[in-house]
Amino acid sequence: MLASPRYGERWARHWLDGVRFAESHGFEMNQARPNAWRYRDWVIQALNDDEPYDQFVRKQLAGDSLGADEATGFLVAGAWDQVKSPDPVLTAQQRADELHDIVSVTGSAFLGLTVGCARCHDHKFDPVSVRDYHAIKAVFAGVQHGDRPIATGVTAVAKKTADGLRRDVFRRRRPPRRTGTSRRPRVHDRPAGRVVATRNVERFAPVTAKVVRFTVTASNEYEPCIDELEIYSTGPNARNVARDAGVKLRSSGNYPGNPLHKLEHLTDGRYGNSRSWISNQPGKGWVEIEFPAAVEIDRMVWGRDREGKYADRVPTRYRIEAAMPAVLPMWKLVASSEDRARPGQPPAVDPASGNTRLCRRGGRRSGGKSPNWSGRRWLTPGNSPARTRCDGSTAATRRSRARRSRRADPRKSASHFNCPTRPPKRNAGSRSPTGSSTRGTRCPPG
């Protein structure tokens, strides 16, 4: 019976109940923990392997230092309040409650003592003082709820192989760079698709900059979030200059009270929601990356959650600007969400010619916001910005459509408006043959 795998499964239930193991976070959100099973299976395997009790205890308290990362799930197996408060006092109280849970279950599971009672006064029965409680609490002060990669030899080799394959695929998919000066530079080498939560690539004409700003003006929900912002230099040996030493980060404001969402996570090279930046304003915010020296760039890669677990807080309307404070104090617009296709509209870049279309909404152009730079104003020959609409039509094509529509629909003919087909030209205020003034006549345009 002891050799059966069911032995560990049966007795692990008693241990997991004692250490408050659960497969969801609890509280009002109560989201599932997709990786909680790793700690459960470790406990089962440890019981089946007849692991010595002293090693069983050490690995659950410091498994990351003993080659048993899964065992540290003991520390964060309890309930976790994911909803943080903007009030710093309440946030500090939530953090104190998280550590209290870890201290209490450690004392009850391994010592059989209610150490948690000494949180605010010396224990009345057990030899545990307030000083002892806070000393144990300090040991776990660096523990945070969240997922992280498990460090094993197999995982390290697999990660290295995957990184190599990813770079090879990117090089194969990247369109060849055109050389020569026979054509004007285009905003994109190819049309961009719709914004997604996982990974978005913004390509633009090479520009030398020392500061790059990413401004969000709308998001699909709540405060906008970015897990990683990568900016690549030009040339065959392109690199992510956002991770260079000496890079400075600035923002309009950071999400308060949550250590998972910090400004420094924006360029730390780690993907996912647990290492991301969130603005402190619903639907808007900006971040700036200042390089130690001016560099020529032509591409930005960003995402809300590269792991694909979350699709909220995605920036849907944004603009990317570059500046050279010593030479060009004004911001230069290099890319924006207007360059991407929207439902029911053609892409902002013509797939056939590569020319950028400008839109007119409410009498204003959404493209070419910087009058001193024409990088986003390439148009097909013969079309002026003021006459080109979002659907790519010009004034001439719209007039032709209107004439065809009037011929096809009798209700739009001149007789429908009760006026002559070709009224004679008269001065303002003159009388028509019927004796009425021509001022205000409802006639369709000839």
Rounded Cα–Cα distance for residues 383 and 392 (Å): 10
Per-residue pLDDT 10s for the chain (446 aa) are 677 889 999 999 999 999 999 999 999 888 999 999 999 999 999 999 999 999 999 999 999 888 899 999 999 999 999 888 888 899 999 999 999 999 999 999 999 999 999 998 998 888 899 999 999 999 999 999 888 877 665 566 677 777 778 777 766 665 555 554 444 444 333 445 688 999 999 999 999 999 999 999 999 988 999 999 999 999 888 999 999 988 999 999 999 888 899 999 999 999 999 999 999 999 999 999 999 999 999 999 999 999 989 989 999 999 999 988 765 557 889 999 888 755 445 444 444 444 444 443 333 443 434 333 333 343 443 444 444 444 445 566 667 777 766 666 555 544 444 444 444 545 444 444 444 444 444 444 44
What are the Cα distances from residue 179, in Å, to 55, 171, 186, 191, 378?
A: 63, 18, 12, 19, 19
Angle at 332 between CA 329 and CA 333, to 5 degrees: 155
Q: How many CB atoms lie within 10 A of CB 218?
A: 13
Total-model pTM: 0.41
Q: How far apart are CA 187 and CA 340, in angstroms?
A: 12
Instruction: Using the structure block, give the residue that is written with the tokens 């392997």.
Output: 49
What span, in angstroms and rounded, lies between the C-alpha atoms of 170 and 403?
A: 50
